[in-house]
Structure 1
Amino acid sequence: MTALATAPADTRTAVHPHLNFARVLRSEWIKVTTVRSTWWSLLITAVLSIGLSLLIAGVSNSVPGGVPPVRAIVSPMQFTMLVAGILGAIVVTGEYSTGMIRSTLTAEPRRDVVILAKAVVVAVLLALTTIVIYAVAIVVTAPILHTQIDWSTPRESIVPLVFGVVSMVAFALIGLGFGFLIRNGAGAIATTVGVLFVLPLVFSLFSLAGDGWHWLVDLAQYLPSNAAQNLTSTTADLWPAWLALLVWVLVPLVGGWVTLRTRDA
């Protein structure tokens, strides 16, 4: 009788696995969006991004030739990328510090589903936030800039904005991957900041070291922050930057996935 009673539920799980994934997604969305640190991070991202866009637009008129309108919108990413990366890290490490990760893995033992659900939730949240920020920044900077965005040329308007959204999502996923890989808040945040902010500064120092070190300067273009800047540029080659950013996302995520599957929570 017990086997007969439990058979329908097991059959539903096997036939409709997407129902389980939808449940995990909903659970992860609730966990992420009900934590204060999430909204503080998104608020800081919005204030920094819009404020810096206004500042860039304000000084644009005093710069010979002005600043391209799209650059005024996407340039603040050089600073907001840190907030995105840190948010991705604390989404994971917050659960490890409180022990909630054990409850998460008890409710959903399939660890690959857990990491996928967290990645989807963080990606969607950062994408929606960045789209809203860009929309507001475009509206508030329009009266200040002498030239407006020319939407008839996608390569100089829509494409940089889309890649700006993609880059912010990538930064958050890099932090998420390091969160699963390191499992410690301070360690994951330090590693994320190191990769996104410190490494480009270190590599740039080799430009002063002579011709023998220029290969390191060239290699720096494949760091995530530099790759993102190239993606949002209207002149750079997109494919190398796109592949570099994709690799930087996949490496910590795959490493975090392996760690989650092979180590106890």
Structure 2
Amino acid sequence: MTALAAAPTRAAHHAAHRLSFAHLLRSEAIKVLTLRSTWWSLGITAALSIGVALMIAAAAADYDGFAAVNVVLMPTQFTMLVAGILGAIVVTGEYSTGMIRSTLTAQPRRGAVLLSKAVVVSLVMAATTVVTYAAAILLTAPLLTTGIDWSDPAQSTVPLLFGVLSMVVFTLLGLGFGFVIRAGAGAIAATVGVLFVLPIVVSLFTFGGPNWQWMVDLGAYLPASAASDLTTPGAEIGANLVTLLAWAAGPLLLGWVALRSRDA
């Protein structure tokens, strides 16, 4: 009986070592792209982005001082929540169904599991954002008297690239919280709290006078603020880029620690 019980264990052990990272990426891509929640999230992201861009373009049509690229980028303050929620439910959905145990049995290297999920959701969100931006640019162009100046990267491609990066970071932030909290409601609440609630709370301290200015200054280091600054044409890049990337790395690192230290 001992030999019979040990045989499947050894077989699973050898199968795990034969599972390459490319195979793991393929597996995660299948899981993510076959979820209805993924397509609902991506569809809502695209619809919000394009719809709000059209409204902004119509309102700003006769305003000469408005940068045309902002029409495409300003809806990010709404779509960032959907991106973060998508990252959270990709993980918490596996915990709620118990599929995470099958994933970790097939690939015991938990860091590889986290990395593969991060790569897949990043590529999915990046591709969706690029397509959405392209659609928004085409649809809003007839409404604007002055279009995007593509000859100046600082006024066109650079803010748009940072917009794509911002959406990826928001998704990874939710993914990290998903691994840490494991419960859908909790991970979504944490994600919405960081992306939406904290900026509002910090802004309230503007009424506190000089004694609370330090709290207002901390607001510049929130992910939404860093993303907003990065996507503003001609804005400072260095500190904002570091801040944004740190908000992606921090939750993922915490998620990796939680994944390694707790049973599935």
Same fold (TM over 0.5): yes
The answer on 1:24 being equivalent to 2:24 is: yes
Q: Distance in 2 between matches of 1:103 and 1:32?
A: 15
Alignment partner, residue 191 of structure 2: 192
Residue equivalent to 2:76: 77
Q: Aligned partners of 1:57, 1:68: CA distance in 2, in Å?
A: 10
Q: Deviations over 1:133-170 (max 9, x none)?
A: 00000000010000011111101100000000000000
- Aligned 1:1-265 pairs, distance under 5 A: 20-63=20-63, 65-265=64-264
- Output the CA distance in 2 between the equivalents of 1:213 and 1:234: 29
What's the offset of the Cα at 1:71? 0.2
Distance (whole Å) between structure 1 residues aligned to residue 150 and residue 208 of structure 2: 42
Q: Which amino acid aligns with 1:162?
A: L
Question: Alpha-carbon deviation of 1:211?
Answer: 1.4
The 8 Å contact of residues 122 and 172 in structure 2, kept in 1 or not, is answered as: yes
Instruction: After superposition, give the CA deviation of every residue in 1:1-20 in whole Å (9 maximum; x if it has no partner).
Output: xxxxx9xx96x987xx7x61
Tell me how far apart the structure 1 counterparts of residues 173 and 111 of structure 2 sit (CA, whole Å). Answer: 17
Cα 1:189–1:85 shift into 2, 3 Å:
same
Q: Mean Cα displacement is larger for which, 243-252 or 210-219?
A: 210-219
Flag as ranges the 4+ runs of structure 1 deviating above 3 A.
none
1:212: how far off?
A: 1.4
**Residue type matched to 2:37 in 1?**
S
Using the alignment, how far apart are the partners of 1:213 and 1:223 within structure 2?
A: 17
Percent identity between matched residues is 61
Deviations 1:167-190 (A, max 9, x none): 000000000000000001000000
Deviation at 1:204, TM superposition (A): 0.4
Q: Gaps spanning 5+ residues in structure 1: where?
A: 1-5
Distance change >3 Å, CA 77–CA 213, structure 1 → 2: same
Distance 1:74 1:182 in 2: 31
User: Measured at CA, do residues 13 and 108 of structure 1 come closer, stay the same or move farther in structure 2, by a change above 3 Å?
Assistant: closer
The two structures have a TM-score, normalised by structure 2, of: 0.93
Return 5+ residue gaps in structure 2 as ranges.
1-9
- Taking structure 1 as the reference length, the TM-score comes to 0.92
CA distance in 1, matches of 2:113, 2:67: 42
Cα deviation, residue 126, structure 1: 0.2
Contact preservation (8 Å) 2:87, 2:171: yes
Residue 218 of structure 1, CA deviation: 1.5
Question: 1:226: how far off?
Answer: 0.5
- Structure 2 distance, partners of 1:34, 1:119, is 17
Q: Quote how far apart the aligned CAs of 1:208 are.
A: 1.1
Counterpart amino acid of residue 59 in structure 1: A
- 8 Å CA contact 1:57–1:67 kept in 2: the answer is no
Judge conservation of contact 1:174–1:248 (CA < 8 Å) in 2. Answer: yes
Alpha-carbon distance, 1:62 to partner: 4.2
Question: 33-42 or 209-218, which moves further after superposition?
Answer: 209-218
**Structure 1 pair 79–163 and aligned structure 2 pair: CA distance change class (3 A):** same
Give the 3-state SS of the residue equivalent to 2:142 in structure 1.
coil
**Matched-pair contact (CA < 8 Å) for 1:60–1:66:** no
CA distance in 2, matches of 1:61, 1:76: 17
